[in-house]
Amino acid sequence: MIVAGIDIGSITTEALLLDKDKGIIGYTIMQTGADSKKTAEMALEKVLAYPGKTTSDVSFTIATGCGRKRALFAQQAVTEITCIAKGVNYLFPGARTIIDIGGQDTKAIRVDEKGRVVEFEMNDKCAAGTGRFIEVMAKALNVELDKIGEISLKYKKDVTISSICTVFAESEVISLVSEGEELEDILYGIHKAISDRTMGLISRLGGSQDEVIMTGGVAKNIGVVKALEKALGTQIKTHVEPQIVGALGAAILAMEKTA
C-alpha cells in the first residue's frame, strides 16, 4: 500500500511516497514558483516515476503547507504544524520541541510522546528571520546561499544586527560592509539575529524541552543551527533532509486514513 504527502511551501514543494512495509520509497523537492497547483502535480508525477508507479497506485494523498488547498488531487488538507509534528515523531520519537524555519515563517512547536501538538508559537506576519530573509542577506553580500553557514562559523567578532526587519537589516548589512566589517562576522550577526528572534517564540512556549529537532530549509544552514544551539545550551538534531519532514508527516497521516 502506497500513500503520498505533498507539502506546498512558499519557496519549495515536497512530494513523498510512503509504503506500508518499506517506509519512505521516494521524495522530491521542487521550487514552488508562481503556479503552486501545477508544481504540486508535477512533484507527485516526478516522485511516482522513480518506483515506476502511477497515481492509481496511491491509496490516499494528504496535502499540507501554505498552498495545501491548491493540491486539488489530494483527498485531504492538513496544517503544516500538525504534519511537521507527525513527521518529527516518526523520525525522532523522543522529540518534545521542534523549531521549523521555512521560506516565510518560523514555528516553535511542543509535542507529546505520540507526536501530537501540545502548543505552538508562530511568526507569520513578515519574512523576518526566515529563509526569505537569509536569501535577501546572501544576495546583498554576494555570497552563495549554501555557503553562508560554513563561512559564518569562522567569525572572530560579535557583530550585532540591530534590526531583524528584512528591509532595514539589508541596509544595515550594506552599511557594515562599507565600514569594513569582515564577511564572516556579518554573517554571524545575521544568524544570531535569526536565533534571537526564534528564541522569542521558544520563550513564549516556556522554554525548550529535550530533545530539540529543527526542520525546514533553514535547518540546512549550519550557522543558524549553531547559533540556536548556543542560545539553547543544548544540541539540535536534524534529519539528513529536513525539508521533507512536513511531507512525511502528511504521508503518515494518509497511511493512518487507510488503516
Beta strands in 173-252 (DSSP E): 212-215, 236-237
**Per-residue pLDDT for 245 more than 90?**
yes
Residue located via cell numbers 554571524: 188
Query: Residue 78: left if φ>0, alpha if ψ -120 to 50, beta else—which one?
Result: beta
| Rounded CA separation 42/60 (Å) | 17
What is the helix (H) or strand (E) element at residue 197, kind and residue range? helix 183-204
Contact indicator for 15, 5 with CB cutoff of 8 Å: yes
Mean residue pLDDT of the chain comes to 93
What homologous superfamily does CATH list for 1-92+242-259?
A: ATPase, nucleotide binding domain (3.30.420.40)
Band (124; pLDDT cuts 50, 70, 90): low
Q: CA 152 → CA 92, 127, 148, distances in Å?
A: 28, 21, 6
Report the pLDDT averaged over residues 234-247. 97
The answer to whether the 1-92+242-259 and 95-238 domains have the same CATH topology is yes
Q: pLDDT for 5-21, tens place per residue?
A: 999 998 999 999 999 99
CB half-sphere exposure, 16, CA atoms < 13 A: 28
pLDDT at 76: 97
Mean pLDDT within 108-128? 88
**Mean pLDDT in residue range 91-116:** 94
pLDDT bucket at 166, cuts 50 / 70 / 90? confident
Domain ranges of the chain: 1-92+242-259, 95-238
CATH architecture of 95-238: 2-Layer Sandwich (3.30)
Residue 209 has pLDDT above 90, yes or no: no
- pTM score: 0.93
Strands (E), 9-114: 12-19, 23-31, 58-64, 76-77, 97-101, 106-111
Q: What is the pLDDT of residue 165?
A: 78
pLDDT of residue 147: 95
